[in-house]
Amino acid sequence: MSAAKVSPEFLKALEEFDALVGEALKPQLREMLRLRCSHINGCSYCIRLHSEQLAALGARPELIGALARPVKLMRDDLVSEGDAAALRFAEVLTDYPRGLEIEARDVAGEFFTQKQLGAIVETVAVINAWNRVTRGME
């Protein structure tokens, strides 16, 4: 079976779009969200890429490894309460077929402005698109 071939124009547009999203977030949190979603989606290329980018931003190896598991199972000392809320919101947006668990958004809203919540949604939406494109071309 052959892999799908996505047009270079689509990839370029997705790259340009990706560069615009999530600017209201700290770079490390944005990469944490990207890595957590990539783990949920099983995208090995993106897992490697965002693990390396997190390391370059100074993230501890324990944190990078912990993002392979649901945030509820992470040690409390690895992320702040706000980052944990953002990661949980990202998990819900990525992997919950029952629809949005409003409480996950509300808890994240205790730590982030509406603009930052929007940036979380943008970041999750784009990394989920990247994961699906990458997995489709494997």
pLDDT in tens, 100-127: 677 899 999 999 999 999 999 999 999 9
Summarised one tens digit per residue, pLDDT across range 22-31 is 999 999 999 9
CA distances, 83 to each of 36, 87, 129 (Å)? 12, 6, 22
pLDDT at 100: 62
Q: Where is average pLDDT lowest: 18-27, 82-91, 96-105, 125-134?
A: 96-105
Question: What value does the mean pLDDT take over residues 48-60?
Answer: 97
Residues with Cβ < 8 Å from 114, sequence gap 6 or more? Answer: none
Say how many residues make up the chain. 138
Of residues 10 and 2, more confidently modeled:
10
Closest-CA residue to 114 (of 19, 23, 24) = 24
pLDDT tops 60 at residue 66 = yes
